[in-house]
Amino acid sequence: MKVGVFDSGLGGLTVVHALIDILKGADIFYVADTKYAPYGEKTQEEILKRCITITNFLIKEHEISALIIACNTATSAAIKMLRKKYIKLIIIGTEPGIKPAIEATRTNHIGVLATPATLKGDKYQLLINELFQGRQVLLTEQACPGLVEQIEKGEISSSVTKKMLKIWLEPMKKNRVDTIVLGCTHYPLISDVIKEIMGYNITLIQTGSAIAQRLMSLSLEHNHLNKGLLDIFVYSTGNINDNMINKIFEKTEYYEKITIRKYDI
């Protein structure tokens, strides 16, 4: 099986990491569209154009049979059009894990950390309205401008990143939030820092595992033999932090190799 995955940067590799845990005998082609990052600062039309360009590249060059849009912003902007355009392709998008957060919370106090674009997006607003209807839930939302850029630079636990997070997490601490939705695929990379700043036991909800399970289910329906090791190919359209790639996969064993290439898509 050949699987394409893309994001504006390194965040979508957290989804690839989740795939490695359960998917076997496949080639994964990841595109970090760093030349056009962050997507949150682009128009809907610009994001859609990039999504189509990257999808065409993955189909033409690698004959993928499945595509994962490992970005909330890109999913909101493009998934409907991509599904209409590429009817035979398995296409899985990303959205904040609001439903599992509702199931996990013990106090009905939930927090959401996300990019400004995700919180303003129609898809997120519809999800909130649908899932919170009739529920007594205290929701603390926090946009995190600049956090993706910090993570892309490898500033995982720097004083600047911690200062940003302390300010953003203070209202959640005040509201005794016990479950936080990580509404961006980059944010699982700073899970330990978030837990440290919160200072008490919290549950962090990320979507990588759910996406991996969904792909697994659909791939078996298409007669994928889930045996053997994985090969992972990482493409970047601009500069990329190789040290962060190594950090993401440093404790993972179930793949043959990772190939990193810079490619003008």
Active site residue 71: yes
* Active-site residue, from 23, 71, 90, 147: 71
CA atoms within 13 A on the CB side of 200: 10
Compute the C-alpha angle 97/132/175, nearest 5°: 80
DSSP E strands: which ranges in the chain?
2-7, 27-32, 66-69, 90-92, 109-114, 138-143, 179-183, 203-205, 231-236, 257-262
Strand pairing partners for 5?
Answer: 30, 68
Question: By the 8 A CB rule, do 101 and 124 touch?
Answer: no
Active site residue 144: no
* Active-site residue, from 117, 184, 189, 198: 184
Q: Which residues are catalytic?
A: 71, 184
